Amino acid sequence: MKKKIVYVCMSADILHAGHINILERASRLGNVVVGLMTDQAISYYKKIPFLNYYQREIVIRNLNMVHGVVPQNTMDYRPNLRKIKPDYVVHGDDWKNGVLKENRSQVIKEIKKWSGKLVEFPYTKNVSSTNLKESFFNKNFYSFNSNRTSLLKRMIEAKKFVRVIEAHSPLAGLIVENTKVKKKTGDADYDGMWSSSLTESLLRGKPDNQSVELSTRINAINEVLEITTKPMVFDADNGGRVEHLPFTIKSLERQGVSAIIIEDKIGLKKNSLFKNQKNAKQDSIKNFCKKLEVATKSRKSDDFLIIARIESFILGKGINDALKRANAYSKAGADGILIHSKIDTPKEIFKFSKIFRKSKNFKFLIAVPSSYSKTYEKDLIRNGFSVVIYANHMLRASYLAMNQVAESILKNSRSANIEKKISSIKDLLKYSL
Ligand code: SPV
Ligand code: MG
Based on its alpha-carbon atoms, the radius of gyration of the chain, rounded to whole angstroms, reads 25
Claim to verify: residue 304 and residue 372 sit in the same structural domain: yes
CA atoms within 13 A of residue 362's CA, in its CB half-sphere: 14
Claim to verify: residue 358 and residue 401 sit in the same structural domain: no
Q: Is the CB of 277 under 6 A from ligand 1?
A: no
Q: How confident is the model at residue 134 (pLDDT cuts 50, 70, 90)?
A: low
Task: Identify the pLDDT of residue 32.
Answer: 97
Is the per-residue pLDDT at 339 higher than 90?
yes
Min mean pLDDT across 33-47, 355-369, 393-407 is at: 33-47
Q: Is the CB of 392 under 6 A from ligand 1?
A: yes
Q: Average per-residue pLDDT in the chain?
A: 92
Is the per-residue pLDDT at 137 higher than 60?
no
Average pLDDT over residues 343-356: 98
Task: Tell me how far apart the alpha carbons of residues 433 and 430 are, in angstroms, rounded to a whole number.
Answer: 6
Min mean pLDDT across 51-55, 94-98, 132-136, 235-239 is at: 132-136
Q: Tell me whether residue 404 is in a domain.
A: yes
Q: Tell me whether residue 135 is in a domain.
A: no
Is the per-residue pLDDT at 273 higher than 90?
no
Question: What CATH code is carried by the domain that includes residue 347?
Answer: 3.20.20.60
Claim to verify: residue 230 and residue 102 sit in the same structural domain: no
Q: Catalytic residue among 13, 208, 264, 283, which?
A: 208
Q: What is the DSSP letter of 14?
A: S
Q: Is the CB of 273 under 6 A from ligand 1?
A: yes
Claim to verify: residue 247 and residue 370 sit in the same structural domain: yes
Task: Identify the pLDDT of residue 142.
Answer: 67
Task: Tell me how far apart the alpha carbons of residues 433 and 428 are, in angstroms, rounded to a whole number.
Answer: 10
Q: How confident is the model at residue 99 (pLDDT cuts 50, 70, 90)?
A: confident
Claim to verify: residue 101 and residue 80 sit in the same structural domain: yes
Task: Identify the pLDDT of residue 138.
Answer: 59
Q: Tell me whether residue 291 is in a domain.
A: yes
Q: Tell me whether residue 112 is in a domain.
A: yes
CA of 196 to the centre of ligand 1 (A): 6
Claim to verify: residue 99 and residue 151 sit in the same structural domain: no
Q: Is the CB of 386 under 6 A from ligand 1?
A: no
Q: Tell me whether residue 349 is in a domain.
A: yes
Q: Is the CB of 29 under 6 A from ligand 1?
A: no
Best residue among 203, 368, 395 to mutate for probing ligand 1, ranked by most atoms within 8 Å of CB? 368
Return the percentage of the chain with pLDDT > 70, whole number: 94
Under a CB-based contact definition with an 8 Å cutoff, are residues 177 and 391 in contact?
A: no
Task: Tell me how far apart the alpha carbons of residues 37 and 273 are, in angstroms, rounded to a whole number.
Answer: 43
Structural domain of 231:
144-391
Confirm whether 264 is a catalytic residue. Answer: no
Question: What CATH code is carried by the domain that includes residue 81?
Answer: 3.40.50.620
Residues 9-51: pLDDT tens digits?
999 988 888 899 899 999 999 999 999 999 999 988 778 898 9
Give the total number of structural domains in the chain. 3
Average pLDDT over residues 379-405: 97
Claim to verify: residue 151 and residue 280 sit in the same structural domain: yes
Q: How confident is the model at residue 135 (pLDDT cuts 50, 70, 90)?
A: low
Q: How confident is the model at residue 93 (pLDDT cuts 50, 70, 90)?
A: confident
Average pLDDT over residues 412-427: 92
Claim to verify: residue 41 and residue 88 sit in the same structural domain: yes
Claim to verify: residue 37 and residue 124 sit in the same structural domain: yes
**Backbone phi and psi for residue 364, each to the nearest 5 degrees, phi listed first:** -60, 150
Q: How confident is the model at residue 269 (pLDDT cuts 50, 70, 90)?
A: confident
Alpha carbon nearest to ligand 1 atom 5, residue: 391
CA of 262 to the centre of ligand 2 (A): 9
Claim to verify: residue 344 and residue 426 sit in the same structural domain: no
Claim to verify: residue 285 and residue 318 sit in the same structural domain: yes
Alpha carbon nearest to ligand 1 atom 10, residue: 272
Under a CB-based contact definition with an 8 Å cutoff, are residues 226 and 258 in contact?
A: no
**Whole-prediction pTM value?**
0.86
Angle between helices 245-255 and 285-298 (to 10 degrees): 40
Claim to verify: residue 108 and residue 192 sit in the same structural domain: no
Residue at a domain's end among 130, 156, 186 = 130
Q: How confident is the model at residue 126 (pLDDT cuts 50, 70, 90)?
A: low
Residue at a domain's end among 107, 130, 153 = 130
Residues 71-84: pLDDT tens digits?
999 999 999 999 99
Q: How confident is the model at residue 143 (pLDDT cuts 50, 70, 90)?
A: low
Q: Tell me whether residue 344 is in a domain.
A: yes
Residue 118 pairs in a beta bridge with 89
Q: How confident is the model at residue 98 (pLDDT cuts 50, 70, 90)?
A: confident
Residues 274-299: pLDDT tens digits?
777 777 799 999 999 999 999 999 99
CA distances from 356 to 42, 79, 82, 225, 331 (A): 29, 32, 37, 34, 13
Q: Tell me whether residue 137 is in a domain.
A: no
Residue at a domain's end among 130, 161, 186 = 130
Q: Tell me whether residue 222 is in a domain.
A: yes
Task: Tell me how far apart the alpha carbons of residues 218 and 210 are, in angstroms, rounded to a whole number.
Answer: 13
